Amino acid sequence: MRWFFVEDIKADDSIVRITGTEFTHLKKALRLKPGSTVSVFNGRGLKLSGRIESVGRDNAVVTVEGSTFNEGESALDLTLVQGLLKGDKPELIVQKTTEIGVKGVCFYSAPRTVPALDEDKARDRVQRWRRVAIEAAKQCGRTVVPRIDYVDFASALAGRGEGLRVVLWENERSRGMGDILEGCKGGPIALLVGPEGGFSADDVDEAVKNGFIPVSLGRRILRAETAAIAGVSIIQHRLGDLG
Ligand code: SAH
């Protein structure tokens, strides 16, 4: 079943129009014809399914036959707070953690490693990461597209709201993931992971002041993207719906 992202659909729509890049994909890449069954989702939980009625010059019309809400979603509200990495590692992280079921990925500019993005660049990159999240959601069959942000380190620490806060810190000697997740009764979780060069002791102090609890992933030092994917997987397994 092919999925298309159309942000402004409503639960009681009886027809839906697919336009823009989603339409180009439908027509040029997939060459779908009238009669094909498709799903259209809004990235906020709503999915409408039906048949293509017509394929025109710049839009396709879908007749809706059914709807679902929150299909494919974990009940766990987990946000990854991740230091910006070089190259296309952010894309990899967005793709994999979307599949594993995060509700949000908040990148922060990491002092000492990758230079902070200026406003224009940041806007472009966030747009690109959102696109990756949409494609990953389609591919894995989830109906909520994770929220993607890019902020500075102080805002990343401060803007976390309620819930459990965990910082992955390779110099933590005693506390492991199991210790902290045991007895955790749901509620939002923020998982903070360092950039390529890791955290300084001051960064971790700052995180602790903001309510983050340092946790080790074991004796081996993982690359930041590995730590992010492993950390999200462990939490989703223990408290969410992975496994
Ligand atoms: N200090 C390092 C390692 C950075 S690893 C260096 O000098 O390169 C990048 C990030 O992955 C870390 O900031 C941390 O958040 C996470 N990480 C990697 N291995 C970890 C481990 N064994 N336990 C907890 N976090 C780890």
197 CA distance to ligand 1 middle (Å): 8
139 CA distance to ligand 1 middle (Å): 30
pLDDT of residue 180: 95
Task: Say which amino acid occupies 220.
Answer: R
193 CA distance to ligand 1 middle (Å): 8
- pTM, entire model: 0.96
- Of 89, 170, 172, 203, which is best to mutate to test ligand 1, by the most ligand atoms within 8 angstroms of its C-beta? 170
pLDDT of residue 28: 96
170 lines ligand 1 (CB under 6 A): yes
pLDDT of residue 183: 83
CATH fold for domain 78-239: Alpha/beta knot (3.40.1280)
Mean pLDDT of the chain: 96
Residue nearest to atom 11 of ligand 1 (CA): 224
pLDDT of residue 151: 96
The yes-or-no verdict on residue 113 having pLDDT over 80 is no
Alpha-carbon distances, residue 202 vs 98, 167, 174, 176, 178 (angstroms): 30, 13, 19, 21, 25
217 CA distance to ligand 1 middle (Å): 9
Alpha-carbon distances, residue 6 vs 22, 29, 134 (angstroms): 8, 18, 11
Q: Which CATH architecture has domain 2-69?
A: Beta Barrel (2.40)
Q: How many CB atoms lie within 10 A of CB 14?
A: 10
Give the number of the atom of ligand 1 that is nearest the alpha carbon of residue 218.
22
**CA gyration radius for the chain?**
20
Q: How confident is the model at residue 199 (pLDDT cuts 50, 70, 90)?
A: very high
The domains of the chain are located at 2-69, 78-239
Collect all residues with Cβ–Cβ distance below 8 Å to 28 and sequence separation of at least 6: none
Collect all residues with Cβ–Cβ distance below 8 Å to 149 and sequence separation of at least 6: 104, 105, 106, 107, 126
Residue nearest to atom 3 of ligand 1 (CA): 198
